[in-house]
Chains A and B, each alone.
Chain A
Amino acid sequence: EAQVTQNPRYLITVTGKKLTVTCSQNMNHEYMSWYRQDPGLGLRQIYYSMNVEVTDKGDVPEGYKVSRKEKRNFPLILESPSPNQTSLYFCASSFHGGATEAFFGQGTRLTVV
């Protein structure tokens, strides 16, 4: 089954404790992206990647890092999480960026206390 898989689905952590949210897709997509979704603000792009070893900042990259060492994986790293990073996070992938439909993961609900 074609899918984007995120882990974990739920995570509660403390301020400053590094964490990684994993994202994997099995569709051989070149493009992958991370979004955060907050009430009243909709989906905002954090980082995206057009291909292996190619990553770029989205609209809200501060406090986040990503890597794209393999085509299928695109982890989101929070080196020192803060409470304002409490949000619902989605990973998405598509064949060719903004030219084809994006497939989304199920989401990761992160709470930073």
Chain B
Amino acid sequence: GESVGLHLPTLSVQEGDNSIINCAYSNSASDYFIWYKQESGKGPQFIIDIRSNMDKRQGQRVTVLLNKTVKHLSLQIAATQPGDSAVYFCAENYGQNFVFGPGTRLSVLP
């Protein structure tokens, strides 16, 4: 597969545990945020998004928390499964475009 993040921070969790992946964003004017999942050899896939008028949004097994005061975003994955192993990165909008975080590699241990 593609080696997209040789120097990424890695989070290792036991299968069945909850995972928390963090992201610090830079622009206080950003009002839309997205979490993406990138599996080896594939393009980034949308997981969940949140707008700045919210501080929490839940999806299926995933929750995104937004703390605008400290410009922090987190992704919580409940009951982590082997299929969750991937690189996760956040994106903040910046004018017409997005700025992407460096990513975190999630490794799920059996």
CB closest residue in chain B, given A48: B97
| Cβ of B42 under 8 Å from chain A | yes
Number of A-B contacts (CB under 8 A): 66
Q: Can you list 27 A-B contacts with CB-CB less than 8 angstroms, sorted by A residue number?
A: A4-B43, A33-B97, A37-B4, A40-B6, A40-B7, A40-B102, A41-B102, A42-B103, A43-B100, A50-B96, A58-B97, A97-B93, A97-B97, A98-B94, A98-B97, A98-B98, A99-B93, A101-B34, A102-B34, A102-B46, A102-B91, A102-B98, A104-B36, A104-B44, A106-B42, A106-B43, A107-B43
| Cβ of B82 under 8 Å from chain A | no
Q: Give the interface size class of chain A.
A: 20 to 34
Q: How far does the alpha carbon of A40 sit from the alpha carbon of B8 in the complex, in Å?
A: 7
- Specify the main secondary structure of chain A where it touches its partner: strand
Q: How far does the alpha carbon of A67 sit from the alpha carbon of B7 in the complex, in Å?
A: 33
Q: How far does the alpha carbon of A48 sit from the alpha carbon of B49 in the complex, in Å?
A: 21
Do A42 and B102 form a contact, CB below 8 Å, given A101-B49, A104-B44? Answer: yes
